Structure 1
Amino acid sequence: MERKEKKKRKDYKGRQESRSTPSFPIDLTSEILLRLPEKSVARFRCVSKLWSSITTDPYFIDLFETRSPRPSLLLCVRKDDNMFVSSIPQHTQETLHKSSNKSFSSSQPKSSYHMKFPEDDDGFRPTESVHGLICFQESLKPVVWNPSKKEFLTLPKPRKSWIDITVFLGYDPTEGKHKVMCIPCNRTSDVCRVLTLGSPQESWRTVKTNQKHRSSFNTTGRCIKGVIYYKAYIYHTRLWVIMSFDVRSEKFHMIPFPLEARKNLLLNYEGRLSFVDDTNPRRLLILEDAEKNKWSKHEFLSHLSRDVITERSLHLKGFTNAGELVYVASLFNNSSYILFCDPARNSFRRFEFKGISKDESWLNNEGEGLFMSPLHIFLNHTESQISL
């Protein structure tokens, strides 16, 4: 096996050196490119013929896939206390060397399984996937879920007097710690409860929020570079704002809402908080400076994807790490699909649900394809070996 690998390396190196003799070593160039994000590799292919030949070589693509684990899209469908979970590739080999606006479809997941939930509760309001973990609440208790290890950790109720709660999950990249943060739902408060996962006691502590505010039933958060962002309503005003919670310092700040995006979904665009512009659905509003409340505008959505989205009644869920927009229906139906749109190339690809439901009779509703249930999508999910 080792001899075969050395031969592949020799053949690969020989092919590259026969095409050009640069002053910069081929092996070092390849090693640098292997460490870059997939979107950068695709963009740098245009630098030179040599870089194009390196990044489109099958041996390079195999190495890239092996050494750079790709985030996946996690699809979850729940019925009663059953949960069907499927891991879908966000990036395919076509993404590395795709250069036209050709569309393509696929229907084969990386892996699929179904599992029993801790409790049969209809109040499933999950957070996004944050560094491999997902959080939701069951019977007013936060539950942490590691899909990779199929493990659940049910936490104690944050505060007995709270009738309902909104749960957020954050990750501090500096200290490598997850934290669960809870506030009362539909009730004004100036405190939250925070619990650090993996700490010796794993007990809740009270943290002041600086501003009295409340969340609504459908409030969701977005954790970006160690900061949780979420929408909130300020006490005794008619003002909707963006609240930010620094996971490491546990400090809150208030960011005024851009007028064009008061009702839209919080998005993570290339590591920055963003919204779709209400007045122009092809425009993205991007937070450049939270302290100065500075926002930039970016045209991002093609006419091609808009036509397809309108026809199929799909909803925007966010961006992949490679910059693709992800659209999906709110309810699961095995005749529908997930749409990935690449705004830079004005192209799209789709993942068909029939590939994940053919072996699950309860998803198929005994083969009739009529089963409809809330569909939950978790973008940029990474494998985690954390034990709960």
Structure 2
Amino acid sequence: MKRVKKENDPQKRDDGSSFSSLSEDLIIKILLQLPTKSIPKLVVVSKLWSSIIRSKQFIDLYLKLSLTRPCFLLSFHRDSIQFFQIKPSQSLEAGSPSSSYTCTTSSYPLNLDTLSYNVYPPVCGLICFQNLDKVVVSNPSTGQFLVLPKLNTRRKGISRFLGYDPVKDEYKVLCMTVLQTSRKVVSEEHQVFTLGGGAEKKEKEEATWRMIKCKVPHCPVPKVKELCSNGLVYYGAWSNNKGKRSLIVCFDVTLEEFTRVKLPDGVEIVRFGSVLVNYHSKVALANHTDFGKFDMWVLGDVVKQEWSKISVVVPSWNDLVGRRDYFSFRGVVSSGKFIFASVYWRGPFSVISYDPKEDIAKRVEIEGLGDTLRSVRLYLDHVERPIIL
């Protein structure tokens, strides 16, 4: 009986299993062809498979392949459950000036009392959001999530950002609380939580929040999502210095240091109208993008803090949007196309794709999501990474 139980137990399959006849290279080739959601389940096949799946070599190979096929990530709220859905970018960008795309990929329910507008943009495959008084990190490609320990604070107002250090292969969650007095509003209690990239587990004593110093007095602007690029996290902020109402703060994920990025003269961060995007690997800021005509400022040199302006005019905007819908700019995908998504709409959720080279704009309706959606958010150039949380 014991022998039969051992053979049927996937945790105990090793050299006696039929999988032992496969070489390590062949196993890696098989795993690279599988959907991300299936990979965490296969760690129980054998010790060898578990070792391969958790190795930095395999995770990097899978990420490299995923970078060639970036996806759109949708988050939406239905029946008090958070869902995430991944779509091929090419499917949404293709089609005639007015076409539809049927959603067929699977969605992942997270049984948490979170709201979809709390979800921050994905960073190298992971996302971060707040669930009541808890900070949560999730891998939407696998459906897994990790609830981080409680922050070292008694305050309720918390700003949170997710960053990735490609050199050390580490994710870091940056949180800060906001102190408001009669004279100023400033961020305080800056804390960092470090997660490994999946290949190695952190020591238990390291898995805690650490207080760090911030020498740049500022307060993050609500509703303006951050941008992580090349190991740096950028986010909009208000300054307490006289004559400088708003700025961009840059957080170095490796050094855990803050620097101030000055905005062009006359440009301000708008709470409900600003968006930070990745424009050909450079940071860009756009304001008031809901009418298809706006200026976008591109940060060409972070050290010299030099900005250049790009004027965007989407052709036939009114015809594409219609009278009852409301669209806003979401960013620029790796192909160079500008993407706008529905904010308020009737009927299927829609996306507008604008190609500045061809000066052509298209609207694509996303069918199959259901009719009871709330707070839909679209994130661009999401990559799938089989990290086990």
1:323 CA displacement: 1.2
Equivalent residue, structure 1, for 2:159: 166
1:208 match: secondary structure: coil
Equivalent residue, structure 2, for 1:283: 295
Deviations 1:209-244 (A, max 9, x none): 112222243242111121101111223645211100
2:217 match: secondary structure: strand
Relative distance call for 1:129 and 1:110 in structure 2 (3 A) is farther
1:245 CA displacement: 0.3
1:307 CA displacement: 5.3
Q: Given residue 178 of structure 1, which amino acid in structure 2 is its aligned partner?
A: Y
1:185 CA displacement: 4.1
1:163 CA displacement: 1.6
Equivalent residue, structure 2, for 1:322: 335
Relative distance call for 1:110 and 1:261 in structure 2 (3 A) is farther
The one of the two structures with greater contact order (alpha-carbon pairs below 8 A, sep at least 6) is: 2
Relative distance call for 1:71 and 1:306 in structure 2 (3 A) is farther
Distance 1:326 1:224 in 2: 19
Q: What is the TM-score of this pair, normalised by structure 2?
A: 0.71
Distance 2:251 2:138 in 1: 22
Distance 1:254 1:244 in 2: 6
Equivalent residue, structure 2, for 1:215: 220
Distance 2:260 2:208 in 1: 27
The reply on whether 1:139 has 2:132 as its aligned counterpart is yes
Equivalent residue, structure 1, for 2:376: 375
C-alpha contact 1:185 1:216 (8 A) present in aligned 2: no
Relative distance call for 1:110 and 1:345 in structure 2 (3 A) is farther
C-alpha contact 2:77 2:373 (8 A) present in aligned 1: no
Distance 2:104 2:166 in 1: 27
Distance 1:94 1:309 in 2: 16
Distance 1:219 1:278 in 2: 12
C-alpha contact 2:101 2:365 (8 A) present in aligned 1: yes
Equivalent residue, structure 1, for 2:97: 103
Q: Given residue 147 of structure 1, which amino acid in structure 2 is its aligned partner?
A: P
Relative distance call for 1:374 and 1:257 in structure 2 (3 A) is same
Deviations 1:317-366 (A, max 9, x none): 1111111111112257543411111111112333313x223xxxxx33xx
Relative distance call for 1:253 and 1:317 in structure 2 (3 A) is same
Equivalent residue, structure 2, for 1:75: 74
Equivalent residue, structure 2, for 1:193: 191
What RMSD over aligned residues (CA atoms) do the two structures have, in Å?
2.8
Relative distance call for 1:382 and 1:126 in structure 2 (3 A) is same
Equivalent residue, structure 2, for 1:25: none
Q: Given residue 181 of structure 1, which amino acid in structure 2 is its aligned partner?
A: L
Distance 1:86 1:123 in 2: 12
C-alpha contact 1:166 1:215 (8 A) present in aligned 2: yes
Deviations 1:90-124 (A, max 9, x none): 125986xx9xxx6352312351224132x324485
Name stretches of at least 5 consecutive residues in structure 2 with no aligned partner.
Answer: 1-64, 181-185, 197-201
Relative distance call for 1:155 and 1:332 in structure 2 (3 A) is farther
Relative distance call for 1:332 and 1:139 in structure 2 (3 A) is farther
Give the share of equivalent positions with the same residue, in percent: 27
Q: What is the TM-score of this pair, normalised by structure 1?
A: 0.71
The reply on whether 1:229 has 2:241 as its aligned counterpart is no
Name stretches of at least 5 consecutive residues in structure 1 with no aligned partner.
Answer: 1-65, 358-362, 365-370
The reply on whether 1:337 has 2:336 as its aligned counterpart is no
1:308 match: secondary structure: helix
Relative distance call for 1:140 and 1:236 in structure 2 (3 A) is farther
Distance 1:275 1:250 in 2: 23
Relative distance call for 1:307 and 1:174 in structure 2 (3 A) is farther
Q: Given residue 280 of structure 2, which amino acid in structure 1 is its aligned partner?
A: E
1:73 CA displacement: 0.5
Distance 1:204 1:348 in 2: 46
Q: Given residue 373 of structure 1, which amino acid in structure 2 is its aligned partner?
A: R
1:162 CA displacement: 2.5
Q: Given residue 239 of structure 1, which amino acid in structure 2 is its aligned partner?
A: R
Distance 2:283 2:193 in 1: 24
The reply on whether 1:89 has 2:93 as its aligned counterpart is no
C-alpha contact 2:328 2:342 (8 A) present in aligned 1: yes
Distance 2:350 2:159 in 1: 30
Relative distance call for 1:334 and 1:85 in structure 2 (3 A) is farther
1:277 CA displacement: 5.8
C-alpha contact 2:72 2:88 (8 A) present in aligned 1: yes
Relative distance call for 1:67 and 1:116 in structure 2 (3 A) is closer
Equivalent residue, structure 2, for 1:262: 269
Q: Given residue 161 of structure 2, which amino acid in structure 1 is its aligned partner?
A: F
Relative distance call for 1:114 and 1:240 in structure 2 (3 A) is same
Q: Given residue 137 of structure 1, which amino acid in structure 2 is its aligned partner?
A: Q
Distance 1:131 1:221 in 2: 14
Relative distance call for 1:336 and 1:189 in structure 2 (3 A) is closer
Match of 1:116 among 110, 118, 124: 110
Number of equivalenced pairs = 305
Q: Any residues of structure 2 matched to 1:151-162 within 5 Å, and which?
A: 151-162=144-155
C-alpha contact 1:261 1:276 (8 A) present in aligned 2: no
Relative distance call for 1:68 and 1:248 in structure 2 (3 A) is closer
Distance 2:116 2:97 in 1: 37
C-alpha contact 1:333 1:372 (8 A) present in aligned 2: no
Distance 2:157 2:261 in 1: 25
Q: Judging by fraction of residues, say which structure has more strand.
A: 2
C-alpha contact 2:110 2:143 (8 A) present in aligned 1: no
C-alpha contact 2:327 2:342 (8 A) present in aligned 1: yes
